Amino acid sequence: MVASTSKYKYVVCDPNLCIGCQICEYVCSYTKTGEYNSYRSRIRTVRADEVLITAIACRTCENAPCVIACPRDALTQDSVTGIIHIDSVKCDGCAWCVEACDFGAISINPINKLAEICDQCETLEEGPQCVKWCPKDALEYTTPDQRAQKSRRELIKDSIEFPIKAKDPK
Amino acid sequence: MVSGEYLDEHHKVKVIACAQCPIACEQMSIVQTGPFAGAMTGVEYESLQANSSNLGISDMRACIQLLELADHAGMDSMSMGVTISYAMECYEKGVLKKEDFKCTQFPEGIELNFGNGEGAVALAKMIRDREGIGNLLAEGTRIASKAIDEERETESYKWAMNIKGLECPGYDARGLKTFSVGLAVGTRGGCHNRSAAYDPDIQGEVNRFTIDETRGKVAADSEEYAAVYDTLPLCKFIRRCFTGKADRAGAWPSIAKLINATTGWHYDYDDVDMIGIRAHTIKKAFNIREGWTTEDDDLPWRWKHDPMTKGASAGYIVTEEELAYLKDIYYKAKGWTADGMLPKELLVKLGMPDVAEQIGV
């Protein structure tokens, strides 16, 4: 299992809740480009099997492999937010960052052939639009603490045996 | 146990959606115990009724196995279920015998009574592999009943539930008079997706047990409404999303806005209306060119002669006279000739003179 080592906030998806509707992709594409085109989305859904579905966006890794991999220093990481910024002048679309990312979170813009990545809608006060519009609340914009708490909750659910069903502790 | 609640509690894994849809209608369900453990597929109303209650099967596990089998083999689960129920009735009435169902799994044959889940699954596999009698049943109830009746001098066509060779959906038209004509005249046969005339019947917008002169128009409208949805395409599950009613007055302005926003065209109410009428007309023209006539706008024998025995519709059938009247007012509502043909003037008016030429009117 590949895990991120991020101390920053990022968008996570709960595979138990995700229905694979791709609304996050269309909302992202619309927010960033004004068109509904899932190839222009910085978050991607993946259906590995009939019911194994999730969505993945940048996980703001520490010592981000994509930043290290870029031969033209086009990628930089914000030291406060962890967001990866791509300098479109320096980037030449070589896609080394795409190869370096364990999460498949970077894509190449099909029109200008340059790298694109989730910026957590940092210019918008409302924050990530995918999180806002997810119809099943599968997406969350979380800190490491929140992610840890979620893991603890899952642990409780897994440990308690039938017939005592753990109620979803909010 | 066959119910949505039972399915939800015992078999459902999760729901999955088509692209951009928050409804997520696909109830992915798995079998965890019994001989069919491991089978998993999406379950919905029509497939469920055709492969459970329609077969007298109360074990949801057998039903899920049947649906998975149909899905993986690329078979229509509804047609498969109705074909198996036809075979079951043939067995119970002595038209087909145990030894007719000999296969690798059951060399002695299958006792295919209603409710035999294991037998139904075995027969579904025979149909899939075209093994033994499965080879004939794979052709559907229309061809199978004809062949069996010719060979054995029987009358199994009476329970071959198909219209124009397409097996009927899970609505008994004996108690849904508007839908009965919608199904009878259906361009692809007994299809609940091309004619949604069960909707006004079930919703109580018309009296489903009686007929009157409005029904031809109601049936025609529902076809054209469905044709617009199928052409765009929009999902039928949102057919009431614009105004709460599945009618053109509410939907067409909103649909015109959707088309214009997507394409930059300038569609209005009449343009959307024309999509439905033209789409349905071309389907009818195709059927005429291929030799279908008003004789084929018919219902299964059972719905015309065999009254329902139980429930709110007990005692009802659609008589030949009722059907003839309904077809007549339907053809009138469409602007067709009395024998269900497309007049040249109508085709020219719809901008389809080339079609008129092709079907020779």
> Do A53 and A127 sit in the same domain of this protein?
yes
Tell me, yes or no, whether A129 lies in a domain.
yes
Q: pLDDT band at residue B268, thresholds of 50, 70 and 90? A: very high
Question: Does residue A35 sit at the B interface (CB-CB below 8 Å)?
Answer: no
What is d(CA A127, CA A15) in angstroms, rounded to the nearest whole number? 21
Question: Does residue B28 sit at the A interface (CB-CB below 8 Å)?
Answer: yes
Range of the structural domain that residue A77 is part of: 60-102
> Do A15 and A49 sit in the same domain of this protein?
yes
Tell me, yes or no, whether A4 lies in a domain.
no
Residues of B in contact with A54 (CB under 8 A): none
Structure confidence by residue, pLDDT tens digits, A57-72: 999 999 999 999 999 9
> Do A25 and A36 sit in the same domain of this protein?
yes
pLDDT for res A107: 95
**B42 to chain A, minimum CA–CA distance in Å?**
9
Are the beta carbons of B20 and A21 separated by less than 8 Å? yes
DSSP B152-212: HT--GGGG--EETTEEP-SS-GGG-HHHHHHHHT-TTSS-TTT--THHHHHHTSS-TT---
Tell me the pTM.
0.88
What is d(CA B239, CA A61) in angstroms, rounded to the nearest whole number? 45
Structure confidence by residue, pLDDT tens digits, B77-86: 999 999 999 9
pLDDT for res A4: 65
Q: What percent of chain A has pLDDT over 70?
A: 91
Residues of B in contact with A43 (CB under 8 A): none
> Do A53 and A15 sit in the same domain of this protein?
yes
**Neighbour count for residue B165 (Cβ, 10 Å):** 16
**A47 to chain B, minimum CA–CA distance in Å?**
10
> Do A68 and A48 sit in the same domain of this protein?
no
> What's the average model confidence in pLDDT over A73-95?
96
What is d(CA B52, CA B40) in angstroms, rounded to the nearest whole number? 16
Please tell me what DSSP assigns to residue A39: G
What is d(CA B160, CA B150) in angstroms, rounded to the nearest whole number? 14
pLDDT for res A170: 43
Residue B290 has pLDDT above 90, yes or no: yes
Question: β-pairing, A107-108 with A115-116?
Answer: antiparallel
Tell me, yes or no, whether A46 lies in a domain.
yes
- If one counts the domains in chain A, the total is 2
Cβ atoms B194, B216 nearer than 8 A: no
Tell me, yes or no, whether A3 lies in a domain.
no
Tell me, yes or no, whether A165 lies in a domain.
no
3-class secondary-structure state, position B87:
helix
Residue B73 has pLDDT above 70, yes or no: yes
By CB atoms closer than 10 A (0-12, 13-18, 19+), residue A126 is exposed
What is d(CA B114, CA A110) in angstroms, rounded to the nearest whole number? 57
**Average pLDDT of chain B to the nearest whole number:** 95
User: By CA distance, what is A15's nearest residue in B?
Assistant: B14
CA B242, B246, B247, B252 torsion-angle sign: positive
What is d(CA B101, CA B198) in angstroms, rounded to the nearest whole number? 36
Structure confidence by residue, pLDDT tens digits, B103-156: 999 999 999 999 999 999 999 999 999 999 999 999 999 999 999 999 999 999
CATH at A93: 3.30.70.20
Question: Does residue A39 sit at the B interface (CB-CB below 8 Å)?
Answer: no
Tell me, yes or no, whether A164 lies in a domain.
no
User: By CA distance, what is A133's nearest residue in B?
Assistant: B22
Tell me, yes or no, whether A16 lies in a domain.
yes
Structure confidence by residue, pLDDT tens digits, A99-157: 999 999 999 999 999 999 999 999 999 999 999 999 999 999 999 899 899 888 888 87
Give the type of residue at B95.
V
pLDDT for res A162: 55
> Do A70 and A84 sit in the same domain of this protein?
yes
